[in-house]
Structure 1
Amino acid sequence: MELAGKHALVTGGGTGIGLAIAKALAAQGVQVTITGRRQEVLDEVAGDGLFGLAMDVRDEADVDAKIAAAVDARGPVQICIANAGVAEGRAFHKMSLEFWRNMMATNLDGAFLTIRACLPGMREAGWGRVITISSVAGIKGLKGAACYTASKHGLIGLTRALSEDYLGTDMTFNAICPGYVATPIVDRNVTSISERAGVSADEALKIMVEANRHKRLIDADEIAAAAMWLTGPGSQSVNGQVIEIAGGQM
């Protein structure tokens, strides 16, 4: 269970939840490959155990090639954090197929491709930890966000199925379901909600804050702490679980 020296890969690792988890892993001596679409964003936070690698999780060839390059540089990936995702609401009757497919390609296909590319190293080593970052929208329907809700439900289904596939091994698969977290995604959603609902930015933010049961935004480090528990000692029997971090029961 010693984490130091292991290789982790965190998609969407340049900002927000992904960056918080990457930094927490690096602080334990893990070599962390962080991915995202823009190399310049990754370069701004790289260093101190973080290695930036531009990768589009929607592109099968790119995912396979970039993860292979990361493995060549830092060894097999034994900790996989499938975090990359987009969060955007849209009325169902106004939703285009292009909008639907892009969100599914990012939130669900991207996790599938990333985990699949990381699994060989875990299977060979006989040890691995996979954490998918879902959402409270993965456990309940989110009004005005049918596509996002469906993608996050699918991510939980994928996680649970993989936990059954590798039951009895030293590989675990768990999902974390945050409520609204203080990240750039919330900042973008303030603008989106404000425009769609015709409310002020303060009112749009209040909608998200009120959706968390304890009536405050969650800090990204709270999500990172849960991820560290799931990768660290004493968590080896936690498998196929969905962990809600939303200030209370959803």
Structure 2
Amino acid sequence: MTALAGTHALVTGAGRGIGAAIAARLAAEGARVTLLGRTRDTLEHTAQQLAAKHPDSVAGVVCCDVTDAGAFAAAVQAMPRVDVLVNNAGQATSAPALRTSDALWAQMLAVNLTAPFTCTRAVLPSMLDAGWGRVVTIASTAALRGYPYVAAYAAAKHGVLGFTRALALELATKGVTVNAVCPGFTDTELLHESIANIMQRTGRSETEARATLAALNPQQRFVTPDDVAHVVIGLCSPAAGSLTGLAIPVSGGEVM
């Protein structure tokens, strides 16, 4: 038996990158996993890979935008009780503060702050009924420090950390833990977009742009999706009942 056998886990933004790595680790620990995201083809491809390695591990594939609270709540109602929620879906768009439009500000908050709140709110009643649950939100080192040109993103990630800490205390006696994992620059498609922005803005080559970001990590490398997934699995374990309200950086020492 593995640690999460008999549980149902829901991962948002599960089609690729960190979300796909987390889904794979959850499946390896015995959970049945529902993959949720906006792109069905990507989700189904990931689900096929997961099922090939861990038969019967895929509970479902749900195409849904996490910023549509009503659609997400309806999806939750149609699936088995959620024991583990991983709020992984996120978006990062950079702009100088004076060029950050109202629309960009609202979008960053909608995806990175409001969606984790509404998604968590949708699954909490069943967790409380069961007296057990795990909520893990993928934040960022931008929840713990500032970075230039991402004021809206950093504000949203700081906000989600406040939500995590407040909810952890609210649920401290209910058997439900609430935590955040804060990766540094991670080798995903979001990183590739950041590199492209640096290249466009500064005229640097891809190699130079990658080196600029990697240098922020004292280990001189990018975090991998698996690095993040291993920490998430630890927080989801039944043995992690005393771990709540945490913001765990996965950043090679960039943030301590």
TM-score by length of 1: 0.95
Paired letter, 1:196: R
1:113 aligns with 2:122: no
**In the alignment, what sits opposite 1:39?**
40
**In the alignment, what sits opposite 2:83?**
78
> In the aligned structure 2, how far is the partner of 1:143 from the partner of 1:90?
9
**In the alignment, what sits opposite 2:7?**
6
Paired letter, 1:41: T
**Counterpart among 158, 162, 170 of residue 167 in structure 2:** 162
**In the alignment, what sits opposite 2:17?**
16
**2:128·2:174 contact (CA, 8 Å) conserved in 1?**
no
The Cα offsets for residues 121-150 of structure 1, whole Å up to 9 and x where unpaired, read as 101110000001000000001111111100
> In the aligned structure 2, how far is the partner of 1:18 from the partner of 1:107?
14
Displacement over 4 Å in runs of 4+: none
**In the alignment, what sits opposite 2:223?**
218
Indicate the SS of the match to 2:215: helix
* TM-superposed deviation, 1:198: 2.5
Paired letter, 2:5: A
**In the alignment, what sits opposite 1:27?**
28
> In the aligned structure 1, how far is the partner of 2:192 from the partner of 2:160?
24
> In the aligned structure 2, how far is the partner of 1:230 from the partner of 1:77?
16
Change (3 A) 1:4 1:203: same
**2:83·2:134 contact (CA, 8 Å) conserved in 1?**
yes
**2:132·2:176 contact (CA, 8 Å) conserved in 1?**
yes
**In the alignment, what sits opposite 2:208?**
203
**Counterpart among 46, 57, 70 of residue 66 in structure 2:** 57
**In the alignment, what sits opposite 1:171?**
176
> RMSD of the TM alignment (CA)?
1.3
Count, aligned residues: 246
Unmatched runs of 5 consecutive residues or more in structure 1: none
* TM-superposed deviation, 1:61: 1.3
| % identical aligned pairs | 38
> In the aligned structure 2, how far is the partner of 1:62 from the partner of 1:193?
36
**In the alignment, what sits opposite 1:66?**
75
Indicate the SS of the match to 1:211: coil
1:81-100 aligned at under 5 Å gives the runs: 81-100=86-105
